Structure 1
Amino acid sequence: MLKHYRELMSSIQNGDILPLYLFYGSEQVLMQEVVEELIKRLVPADSFNCLRFHCDETPIQAVVQEADSMPFMAERRLIIVENAFLFTGTKGTRVEHDLTSLEKYLEQPAPFSTVVFLVYADKLDERKKITKLAMKRAKVVSFHTLKEHECRDWIEKQVKKRRGRITPDAINRLILYVGTNLQLLQTEIDKLCLYTDESEVIDEDVVDLLAARTIEQDIFVFIDEVVRGRMERAIRLFYDLLKQKEAPVKLLFMITRQVRMMLQVKLYSQRGFAVQHIAGMIGAHPFVCKRAYEQARSYSLQQLESMLCELAEMDYKIKSGQIGDTEGVETFLLRLPQFLGSPPCHMGGAIRG
């Protein structure tokens, strides 16, 4: 996805601008970035020759009429058509659209106008005559949700654009909290860059301090810290979750579920199955499965099996009353580094506080 986006941006920045564009997909942030680049190149600070229309409000024949009109004291006009559902199977209800006028325009667009159709849908209806024609005459680009590695790259570039710096771990943490929704990420990046000046680096602590998150995301990050063996961070998060009234037994169950998934993914991957295929086999979301695959790299099969046995033993001790639930989870967390070959973690008062 990012490859096509970069190629498109590069061609626009080099002045290779076409008369017709059709953008579709769910990733509106990237779509709007391209539109902003077109505005910058064609009609900077020129409100007379940059027009926006919405297909729910304006008939397409009126848009065509504007596209056919000469620019006002300029070389080109830019026409942006929002929610151009005419190229999908969706039917509008507010206005009547004369598609014949659009078909004629697509066959012979005005040389002094650039028209951009924005379709906020994952698919075009390629059976429709108007869509087939647009795919022949316009530059058609899909804007779908970025893959995780693409999202990391996008975050780093957005921070650099704001003259900031961010660590790889901070990028991973931000994705854990927010996911790969670029609109939400953009808001968080703005916040992080405003908080830090150009001499500071955005690290995990800054992300933890500022990023908006839900208790479910806090739990997800807690589990990630546990299985990565970063016990001091995990223990701090554990006490934070206790303050939010999360039950220790629930947290122990979720650790167990993650370790079990790590074991399954490791077993299947060693047999040659791809992560995407494994996700379907074990009934997990591909993003979650990929995360488990990355986490499992730090462990051998024997270590993961031993961890599951330890978790089962601790669960039994808690439920049989041999140990308190909070103490049981603490004990497991303190012993976990042994599975990674690290020294045991010692829990000091500063951590508990």
Structure 2
Amino acid sequence: MQTLNQDIKNRTFKPVYLLYGEEAYLKHNYKSRLREAVTSGDTMNYNYYEGKGADVNKIIGLSDTMPFFADKRLILLEDTGFFKGGAAGEELAAYAERIPESTCIVFVESEVDKRSKLYKAVKKYGYPAELSRQAPGQLSRWAAGLLSKNGRKITGRTMEYFLSRVGDDMENISSELEKLTCYTLGRDVITKEDVDAVCVPQVTNKIFDMITAITSQNTRGAMDLYEDLLTLKEPPMRILFLIARQFNQILQVKELMGTGMEKGAIASKLKLQPFVTGKLMLQARIFSREQILSYVKFCVDMEEHVKTGRLPDRMAVELLITNQY
């Protein structure tokens, strides 16, 4: 991201950029900043294409056209699928080395194959920016900065609790911070009670509770939580994935605890919020390594049975919850 920030600040642009990765907030942010920096709000020399089926010849023709009373033309392409291979991507890859200085092409993609010719061309002639989920420390500093701009303060421990409750999606964090700012009008310090009052717990928090219920054989409680998630339109396979991911995290934490590693070191190594790490450590202490592995295998088996058509997805999660397979 440092390269992007520097190019935007200096207004010295590479011929082609690629913005990709899990963090939608950052992709949207840098897409907007690049557009403003390159065009300064000019719409005459700005072209936008979205989705599959964009005409490569038309894109190249526009790119070769001199901008009208401006230094730069910006062509922004979003979710084109060009980075998954195919003739269109290869044609653009071949064109990348001769993009005129008067043109800047920006790709914003959800799926990217780093083995594709187009990705390699962007890497050679421009800049591919992978905008991934941010580490806990970066999220804390960013969130604290947003609060500070609105005249609010928050302790480190309350920030940990806030992030453990709302998750690591920056768009969601930003939205929840706005709610906190409005709720605390007339006060400058945000408390844990404020977070509890207005911040909506993310799905991962329910998964924590569900695993606690599963492993303590509280089947009714686990099924109630499962029904809550289905009511919130969470797909059963995503729920299964989140359960499997947490059991894997519990296993990792268990093994690191076995080496004598403390909470802070574990959180840093696994890139988790300390508050989340503490909850995982509590769960890891309850089970033997063999028990955790059995649940991991159970999750893998259920996923395989769904993918091979042996079980419906909803039933697979129910069997996992009730431990009856």
Q: TM-score range by the shorter chain?
A: 0.5 to 0.7
Q: Would the aligned equivalents of 1:49 and 1:76 in 2 still touch at CA under 8 Å?
A: yes
Deviations 1:152-206 (A, max 9, x none): 2222233345554333233212211121112221221222233344862333222
Question: 2:9 matched to 1:19?
Answer: no
In structure 2, which of residues 133, 138, 146 is the aligned counterpart of residue 150 of structure 1? 138
Q: Which residue of 1 aligns with 2:179?
A: 191
Q: Distance in 2 between matches of 1:58 and 1:219?
A: 41
The one-letter amino acid paired with 1:200 is D
In structure 2, which of residues 20, 42, 47 is the aligned counterpart of residue 46 of structure 1? 42
Q: Which residue of 1 aligns with 2:55?
A: 59
Change (3 A) 1:296 1:216: closer
Structure 1 stretch displaced more, 72-81 or 5-14: 5-14
Question: 2:114 matched to 1:114?
Answer: no
Q: Would the aligned equivalents of 1:61 and 1:99 in 2 still touch at CA under 8 Å?
A: no
Q: CA deviation at 1:6?
A: 3.9
Change (3 A) 1:270 1:183: same
Q: Would the aligned equivalents of 2:160 and 2:274 in 1 still touch at CA under 8 Å?
A: no
Q: Would the aligned equivalents of 1:262 and 1:292 in 2 still touch at CA under 8 Å?
A: no
Q: TM-score, normalised by structure 1?
A: 0.57
Q: CA deviation at 1:277?
A: 12
Q: Would the aligned equivalents of 1:265 and 1:289 in 2 still touch at CA under 8 Å?
A: no
Question: 2:45 matched to 1:70?
Answer: no
Segments of 4+ moved more than 6 angstroms: 260-263, 271-274, 276-279, 294-297
Give the 5 Å matches for 1:1-353. 5-89=1-85, 97=88, 99-100=90-91, 102-121=92-111, 123-126=112-115, 128-162=116-150, 164-197=152-185, 200-213=188-201, 217=205, 264=254, 267-270=257-260, 275=266, 287=272, 291-292=276-277
Deviations 1:185-242 (A, max 9, x none): 1221222233344862333222211111269737959xxxxxxxxxxxxxxxxxxxx9
Deviations 1:263-283 (A, max 9, x none): 94674141799748998xxxx
Change (3 A) 1:204 1:44: farther
Change (3 A) 1:159 1:78: farther
Q: Look up the SS of the partner of 2:44 in the other structure.
A: helix
The one-letter amino acid paired with 2:131 is F
Change (3 A) 1:44 1:196: farther
The one-letter amino acid paired with 1:109 is I
Which one has a bigger Cα radius of gyration?
A: 1
Q: Look up the SS of the partner of 2:88 in the other structure.
A: coil
Change (3 A) 1:276 1:169: closer
- The count of residues paired between Structure 1 and Structure 2 equals 248
Q: Distance in 2 between matches of 1:261 and 1:97?
A: 44
The one-letter amino acid paired with 1:165 is K
Q: TM-score, normalised by structure 2?
A: 0.62
Q: Look up the SS of the partner of 2:100 in the other structure.
A: coil
Q: How big is the alpha-carbon RMSD for the aligned residues of Structure 1 and Structure 2?
A: 4.1
The one-letter amino acid paired with 1:97 is A
Change (3 A) 1:219 1:137: closer
Structure 1 stretch displaced more, 270-279 or 160-169: 270-279
Q: Would the aligned equivalents of 2:16 and 2:125 in 1 still touch at CA under 8 Å?
A: yes
The one-letter amino acid paired with 1:82 is E
Q: CA deviation at 1:43?
A: 2.0
Q: Which residue of 1 aligns with 2:230?
A: none
Gaps of 5+ in 1: 222-241, 247-256, 280-285, 298-303, 306-353
Change (3 A) 1:108 1:291: same
Q: Distance in 2 between matches of 1:14 and 1:201?
A: 37
Q: Look up the SS of the partner of 1:46 in the other structure.
A: coil
Change (3 A) 1:118 1:264: closer
Q: CA deviation at 1:98?
A: 7.2
The one-letter amino acid paired with 1:212 is V
Change (3 A) 1:160 1:113: farther
Q: Look up the SS of the partner of 1:48 in the other structure.
A: coil
Deviations 1:239-262 (A, max 9, x none): xxx9xx99xxxxxxxxxx9xx999
Q: Which residue of 1 aligns with 2:229?
A: none
The one-letter amino acid paired with 1:291 is V
